[in-house]
Chain A
Amino acid sequence: DAKTTQPPSMDCAEGRAANLPCNHSTISGNEYVYWYRQIHSQGPQYIIHGLKNNETNEMASLIITEDRKSSTLILPHATLRDTAVYYCIVRVAFMNRDDKIIFGKGTRLHILP
């Protein structure tokens, strides 16, 4: 079972900010939140990750709530090329034998012209 819950699909108008939510209520103190996206059947692409502070890079911003039970990925100015499935996962940084990486079904984001 996925450790995260995401809406199955979302629409966003081109040029607007896309805000993608993710619930991870059972996250452990040493688990990071990672976001990836997959365009068509290409290999997933890393977007951003964080532990408890908000993070920003050239692609997106990641807002993590203070209790770390949820987060939001923000694409500030969505373009048609941002149409993809977005995956939110939680995982430890250094995996041990019993650790797993669980990708849920993600959110299918449609950018509308």
Chain B
Amino acid sequence: DSGVTQTPKHLITATGQRVTLRCSPRSGDLSVYWYQQSLDQGLQFLIQYYNGEERAKGNILERFSAQQFPDLHSELNLSSLELGDSALYFCASSVSPYRDTQYFGPGTRLTVL
């Protein structure tokens, strides 16, 4: 158990819909990362937040957005969902930018029908 929690574990929805994935980092960690893992793409870095501020941006689509709240939990919002958005979504957290070993959560499996 890494100490990072993600909800929900599974999510099934339809094309065109919007969903929100939630991540709670380890106690004391200030930085949160989001990743997408689909069968044909491997693990793709989406975005990083540090202490509420966006830090680095990867291959995140414009239909996706994220934020980190004052209590440091983070949410990833996916809208106008397409079949190709079906994937595992992982959140990771780290202590700080200077101790940036990432600890991953168990993931949310999103299925878009």
Contacts and interface: CB of A to CB of B under 8 A. Distances in A.
A99 B104 contact: no
A34 B103 CA distance: 12
Interface stretch (B42-50, B61-69, B75-83): B42-50
Contact of A44 (B97, B98, B100, B104): B104
A95 B55 contact: yes
Given A43-B2, A93-B98, A95-B100, A103 B43 contact: yes
* Interface of chain A: mostly helix, strand, loop or mixed: loop
Nearest to B6: A43
Contacts of B106: 42-43
Contacts of A95: 48, 55-56, 97, 100
- Interface bin, chain A: 20 to 34
A99 B107 contact: no
Interface in A24-44: 34, 36, 38, 41-44
A44 B106 CA distance: 8
B42 A105 contact: yes
Contact of A46 (B33, B35, B55, B103): B103
A65 to B, nearest CB: 22
Nearest to A2: B42
A43 B42 contact: no
Given A42-B107, A87-B43, A105-B42, A97 B4 contact: no
Nearest to B31: A95
B97 A93 contact: yes
Given A41-B107, A93-B98, A94-B100, 5 more contacts: A44-B92, A44-B102, A45-B104, A94-B97, A101-B58
Interface of A: 34, 36, 38, 41-46, 49, 87, 91, 93-106
Closest 9 CB pairs of A and B: A43-B104, A103-B43, A94-B97, A101-B45, A95-B56, A44-B104, A99-B56, A93-B100, A43-B106
11 contacts: A43-B4, A43-B107, A44-B102, A44-B104, A45-B2, A46-B103, A94-B100, A95-B56, A95-B97, A95-B100, A96-B56
